[in-house]
Amino acid sequence: MITQAETLSSAHAESSSRSGVSWAAIFAGAAGAAALSLILVLLGFGLGFSAVSPWANEGASAKALGISTIIWLALTQIIASGLGGYLAGRLRVKWANMHGDEVYFRDTAHGFLAWAVATLVATVLVVSSAGSAIGGGVQAGANVASGAVTAAGAAANSSGNDPYGYFVDTLFRDNRPAPVSDDASHGIVTRIFAKTLANGGQLASDDRAYLAQLVAQRTNLTQAQAEQRVDQVYGQARQAAEDAKVAAQKAADTAAKVAAYASLWTFISLLIGAFVASFAAIYGGRRRDAVQWHDVDHLGHGERYVAPTATAPIR
């Protein structure tokens, strides 16, 4: 006859030789969490794209879209991580005759490991899927804008992006009226403005005089009036360049802040997901340990209850 002490000793030896990690349960929970994360993130992308409109004063604002993205990311982590942690805790191997604190720790570890594996898998899936979805939209926009880009590139090339164009123009300058066409004169003016604005300085005296000569030749203005117009137009061009520079700096600063906020809230969401997964694994483990087994009488006399004895963990 097997005594209760022998049964406890056998169960203790079995639990001591068995690994404390149930990888099958962890991978099952991670698979469920990763799949649910992918579904929810793609749903979020669809809702976000449907809320955005290229028309002015239409669709959701950037602030509202950012807040909704943060909330959706947090909800995705809570729901998916909760599912993964619960599955990892509920499907784990039952540990017999183990102290409640150790069971608590192992359940927590199983939920955390399931969350970690799911996060790595979901990151790969979401990045690839989102990249394909966004890439399709970007490609469509690029096809529409390709004609405009080509035209802009041709205009830029014709306006004198040659770094030596300014010096070549200087080589053939003359005090006589410039015998050039309107298109050629426009190119000369563009190259002089671009060279001076790139250096961030004032127009050189010879450049100013030559531009005034070109203006006077093609208008009814005197040389002095032409010089005054050159100063006025160049001042406007310089102000426009400064405004564009400030706008670019503001855009870069805004992009840096958005990236910082996105990283911060992503970190917070992932931290919430880790906590929820660990807690859900504890709940799933407790539910698994509370299962009552019934032995079926195959002789047709119904079921009879068999209470767990030595296999129940010590709380």
Nearest to 115 by CA among 225, 37, 44, 226: 37
What is the model's pLDDT at position 160? Answer: 45
Contact 265, 77 (CB under 8 A): no
**Interval 135-149: pLDDT, tens:** 555 454 445 445 444
Contact 85, 29 (CB under 8 A): yes
Name residues of the chain where pLDDT drops below 50.
1, 8, 11, 14, 138, 140-142, 144-145, 147-160, 299, 305-315
What is the model's pLDDT at position 195? Answer: 81
d(CA 68, CA 75): 10
End-to-end CA distance of the chain: 28
d(CA 208, CA 231): 8
Number of CB atoms found within 10 A of residue 219's CB: 11
8 sits in which H/E element: helix 4-17
Instruction: Give the tokens for residue 291.
Output: 């299962």
What is the model's pLDDT at position 155? Answer: 42
What is the model's pLDDT at position 148? Answer: 41
Half-sphere exposure of 95 (CA within 13 A, CB side): 23
> Which amino acid belongs to residue 286?
R
- DSSP structural state of residue 168: H
What is the model's pLDDT at position 151? Answer: 40
CA dihedral 95, 101, 102, 106 (to 10 degrees): 90
DSSP 3-state percent helix, strand, coil across the chain (nearest 5): 75, 5, 20
What is the model's pLDDT at position 174? Answer: 60
What is the model's pLDDT at position 153? Answer: 44
Residues in the chain: 315
Write down the residue that tokens 């669809």 correspond to: 46
Instruction: Give the tokens for residue 281.
Output: 């694994």
DSSP string covering 243-284, please?
HHHHHHHHHHHHHHHHHHHHHHHHHHHHHHHHHHHHHHHHHH
What is the model's pLDDT at position 314? Answer: 45
| This prediction's pTM | 0.60
What is the model's pLDDT at position 256? Answer: 86
Write down the residue that tokens 């409109």 correspond to: 53
Contact 272, 58 (CB under 8 A): no
* Domain range annotation of the chain: 165-247
d(CA 193, CA 226): 16
